[in-house]
């Protein structure tokens, strides 16, 4: 038996264990910063790295939650329409740190969440989230507080 035929099963097993051929892209949600100062505009980007369009079930497609209380901060109302995001594209959204009463939110930890469907099926949604802090003053040097977004970035 030639060496090629002996190595083929090993290579096939390694490919299966390590994920096979290069996987199609993924859908990600990331805030631009891990810390925002009070009054700054918070921005986050939803990226569709898939080969097909994804669909969000409402507009705005994102929601912000206070992590300490696990309560919805923004928005209070959504428009129930299908919002598509094409393949290999991204969209950046901004939030002015105002709650649904149009008042400045308190300092603390927040999470932005997005739900989407790959098959335009509103009953089969995937969820994405990223966290960030709002503080009176963000550190400009040294290490920032570890966030879910910074941990996810380590594995990309």
CATH number of the domain within which 101 lies: 2.60.40.10
13 pLDDT more than 90: no
Assigned domain for 83 exists: yes
Neighbours of 60 (CB within 10 A): 16
Distance from CA of residue 111 to its chain's centroid?
10
Predicted local distance difference test score (pLDDT) of residue 123: 74
17 pLDDT more than 50: no
Assigned domain for 128 exists: yes
142 pLDDT more than 70: no
The number of folded domains in the chain is: 1
Phi, psi of 45 (to 5 degrees): -120, 130
Q: Which domain holds residue 74?
A: 24-154
Give CA–CA dist 98/104, Å, rounded.
Answer: 5
pTM of the model: 0.73
Assigned domain for 73 exists: yes
pLDDT, tens digit (0-9, with 9 covering 90-100), for 108-140: 999 999 999 998 876 789 999 999 999 999 987
């Amino acid at each position: 038996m030639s060496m090629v035929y002996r190595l083929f099963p090993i290579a096939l097993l390694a490919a299966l264990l390590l994920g096979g051929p290069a996987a199609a892209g993924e859908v990600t949600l990331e805030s631009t910063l891990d810390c925002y100062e009070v009054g700054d505009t918070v921005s986050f980007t939803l990226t569709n790295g898939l080969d097909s369009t994804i669909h969000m079930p409402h507009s705005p497609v994102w929601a912000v939650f206070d992590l300490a209380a696990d309560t919805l901060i923004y928005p209070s109302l959504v428009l129930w329409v299908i919002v598509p995001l094409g393949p290999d594209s991204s969209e950046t959204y901004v939030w002015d740190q105002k709650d649904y009463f149009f008042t400045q939110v308190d300092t603390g930890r927040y999470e932005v969440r997005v739900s989407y469907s790959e098959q335009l099926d509103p009953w089969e949604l995937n969820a994405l989230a990223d966290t960030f802090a709002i503080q009176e003053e963000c550190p400009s040097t040294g290490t920032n507080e570890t966030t879910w977004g910074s941990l996810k970035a380590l594995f990309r």
